[in-house]
Structure 1
Amino acid sequence: MKKVLIITYYWPPAGGPGVQRWLKFVKYLPDFDIQPIVYVPENPTYPIIDNGLVNEVSDKAIILQHKIIEPYGMASIFSKKNTKGISSGIIPNQKKQTFLQKAMLWIRGNLFIPDARVLWVKPSVKFLKKYIQEYNIDTIITSGPPHSLHLIGLQLKNDLKLNWLADFRDPWTTIGYHSALKLSSYADKKHKALESKVLNTADTIIVTSKTTKAEFERLTTKPIEVITNGYDVEKVSVGQLDEKFTLAHIGSFLSDRNPKILWEALSELIHENDQFSQQFTLKLIGKVSQEILDTIESFGLKPHLNNLGYVSHAEAIQHQRKSQVLLLVEIDSEETKSIIPGKVFEYMVSERPIVAIGPQDSDFAELIVSTNTGSFFTYSEKERLKATLLSHFEKFVAKELKVYPVGLQQYSRKNLTQKLANFLK
């Protein structure tokens, strides 16, 4: 059995989307004659905890742990709320940022390059070099963000001449929050230099979307493979569908993902249609920025809001499968066209219609339309969005609200792991 060392930051009991990709790859790699050895921090500062995921770790995986020094842990002494929000990606609107928030973002962007886990690089290289040599490992994988983990791979590649696969769950310098970090000219150049060095040193680059592949192809001639996120066969008991017409958003709802056309369309439907007003509920599951909540209230939607906060992954799957309609929102910008949220794949197998809002030519728009799992709207298509919501509601009333997906099997976690295994042998 071939041994492969996987270096990742997010690992159970971490919750949220970052942990799912490699948790599932590790689950299925032994089926393809590959022994996963997973290297993770011993004492991480995870913004979200989901202890239920610990039970999903494969008993065939070897888990290595090493201590990490995290500035987020120290920063929480001054402001636990701000630290937790920033570390989980919830960055306040620039116009509403307090002095402390501005200072924390500047420190994060300019003193910790590429990110706040950079202090783990040197001790990890020292620890892993010894382990790799002792156990004759010839292939390593690094997964980012945090992109500092790619610097571990970079150093190990240079020192030991290993086969190195760099997995990018998200882009590096073009990701949406990068510009919010108040980078100096020096810091910006250093980020780009490190990105270029990683992309041109790794043997293979793995990305999650075709747009990220095209972006990276302008920066390197190294082979780039697309392996999307996917869905797993979840053993979750689900009862009947919600009795009310529930529109559910599951996952972090960041300030920049504020679809005012949706709030306006819903507000109009509530005022124009008494039956809709009586039956409609907006379910928010996960971390939600205060700006989103304030906007929802400003459109008169608070009486219809059910804000459940963060729940376990198993409970999130239950809500996906019993909600009447699922909401997916991405930031309206050029940089987010490449983002395919991991939850979209779980949405697609929930057998509930998806209403997705994002920038024109988004990769996930093509995914939803091609699998016949929902409808996609740009931020300028309020009337079409409103008409679709009304159509879904009328089908809900008639008990005919269903979807008929096609071509989903290619996105199963096991099939995606087989694709990964082909690069590792």
Structure 2
Amino acid sequence: MKKVLIVTYYWPPAGGPGVQRWLKFVKYLRGYEIDPIVYIPENGHYPLKDSSLTHEIPQDITVLKKPIFEPYNFAGFISKKNTLKISSGIIPEEQNQGFLQKLMLFIRGNLFIPDARKFWVKPSVKFLSSYIREYNIDTVITTGPPHSLHLIGLGLKRKIDCNWIADFRDPWTQIGYHKKLKLLSFAKKKHERLEREVLQTADELITTSFTTRDEFQKITSKPISVITNGYDYEKVDATPLDQKFSLSHIGSLLSGRNPKNLWNALAELISENPDFANDFQLKLIGAVGDPVLESIKKAGLQDHLVLKGYVSHTEALQLQRSSQVLLLIEIDSEDTRGIIPGKLFEYMVSNRLILAVGPEKADIEKLISETNTGKFFLYSQKEEIKNFIFERYKEFKSGTLQSHPIGLQKYSRKALTGELAELIKNLG
């Protein structure tokens, strides 16, 4: 059985989608004759926690832990609220940033390159190089963000010439928030240099989206595979559908995810249709940026708004399956075309229709269309969004509202792990 060392920052009790990708791979790898060993920080700074995920860790798996120096712990003494937001990727627009936020972003972008976990790189390379030799590890896999973990892979590759796969759950220099980090010229160049070194040194690269793969192919000739996130077969207590015509977004709504035309379309439907006004409910589960809330209230939707905050993964699944329509929103930017949120795949198997709003040529449009699980719209398509919602409302009233998905099997976590296992075995 091949031994594979997986270097990841996010691991239970951390919450959020970044945890689930490698938790699920670890869950199924042994079924493909691959023995995973996981390396994580002993004292990681996790903005979100979900203790329910600890029950999914295979009981006999080896999990190595080493301490990490976390600047966010010190920053929390200055401003806990701002530290949590920035470490979660919630970065306000320039005009909404206070002096303290601007200062923290400047420090984050220019002093901590590629990110605040950079101090874990050297001690990890030292420890793991010895561990890999002693236990005959065949392959090392690093997953980012945080992209500092790819520098661990880079260090190991150079020191002991191990097989190395770099998994990019999100882009590096092309990710949406990168431009908000107030990078000086030297910092921007250093990010680009480190990204290039990783892309050109790893033996194999994995991305979760087709757009990110295409962007990386401009930088490197190394083989790149797309292995998306996916869904797992999870037992969820049967939950009755909402009595209201609920449009639900599950997950963080960052400040850039603010489709004002959607809010205005809903406002017009409420104004024009008394029955719709009586039945409609907008449910937001997870962290919501202040600008988004302001836009929703400005549209006059506050009486229809339900805010639940962060919930456990199990409760999130229940809320997905009880909602009438599921809302998926991505930032309206060329930089986010390749973002495929992990929750999309859970949405797909919830048997509820998806209303997605995002940028032109978004990868999520391709997946939603391919699986017949909903409809994708551009931010500008207010009338089209409005008509789609009203047609779904009429189906809700007649009791016929549901999804008719096709071809979902290839996005199961088990099938995706099979693709990963094939990559590992082909490395030799």
TM-score by length of 2: 0.99
Return 5+ residue gaps in structure 2 as ranges. Answer: none
* Counterpart in the other structure of 1:202: 202
Matched, 1:13 2:20: no
1:5-84 alignment runs, 5 A limit: 5-84=5-84
The CA distance in 2 between the partners of 1:294 and 1:80, in whole Å, is: 23
Deviation at 1:59, TM superposition (A): 1.9
Deviation at 1:93, TM superposition (A): 1.5
The CA distance in 2 between the partners of 1:9 and 1:104, in whole Å, is: 22
Deviation at 1:331, TM superposition (A): 0.5
Deviation at 1:82, TM superposition (A): 0.4
Partner of 2:10: helix, strand, or coil?
Answer: coil
Deviations 1:360-380 (A, max 9, x none): 110110100110000000011
* Counterpart in the other structure of 2:322: 322
1:92-241 alignment runs, 5 A limit: 92-241=92-241
Partner of 1:77: helix, strand, or coil?
Answer: helix
> Which stretch shows the higher mean deviation, 231-240 or 372-381?
231-240
> Which stretch shows the higher mean deviation, 250-259 or 124-133?
124-133
CA contact under 8 A between 2:2 and 2:138: conserved in structure 1?
A: no
Partner of 2:77: helix, strand, or coil?
Answer: coil
Partner of 1:309: helix, strand, or coil?
Answer: coil
1:279-290 alignment runs, 5 A limit: 279-290=279-290
* Counterpart in the other structure of 1:353: 353
Partner of 2:308: helix, strand, or coil?
Answer: strand
The CA distance in 1 between the partners of 2:406 and 2:381, in whole Å, is: 26
CA contact under 8 A between 2:140 and 2:163: conserved in structure 1?
A: yes
Deviation at 1:238, TM superposition (A): 2.4
- Alignment identity in percent? 62
Deviation at 1:21, TM superposition (A): 0.4
Partner of 2:266: helix, strand, or coil?
Answer: helix
Return 5+ residue gaps in structure 1 as ranges. Answer: none
* Counterpart in the other structure of 1:374: 374
CA contact under 8 A between 1:35 and 1:60: conserved in structure 2?
A: no
Partner of 1:318: helix, strand, or coil?
Answer: helix
* Counterpart in the other structure of 1:408: 408
Letter in 2 for 1:13: P
Deviation at 1:130, TM superposition (A): 1.4
Deviation at 1:58, TM superposition (A): 1.5
* Counterpart in the other structure of 2:398: 398
Deviation at 1:17, TM superposition (A): 1.1
Deviations 1:284-338 (A, max 9, x none): 0111111111111111101100000000000000000010000000001111111
The CA distance in 2 between the partners of 1:58 and 1:207, in whole Å, is: 25
Letter in 2 for 1:184: L
Deviations 1:88-131 (A, max 9, x none): 01101210100000000000000000001001101111111111
The CA distance in 2 between the partners of 1:118 and 1:334, in whole Å, is: 28
Letter in 2 for 1:378: L
The CA distance in 2 between the partners of 1:353 and 1:238, in whole Å, is: 18
Deviations 1:363-407 (A, max 9, x none): 110100110000000011110100000000110011110111000
Runs (4+) off by over 6 Å: none
Equivalent residue pairs, number: 425
* Counterpart in the other structure of 2:250: 250
The CA distance in 2 between the partners of 1:228 and 1:270, in whole Å, is: 37
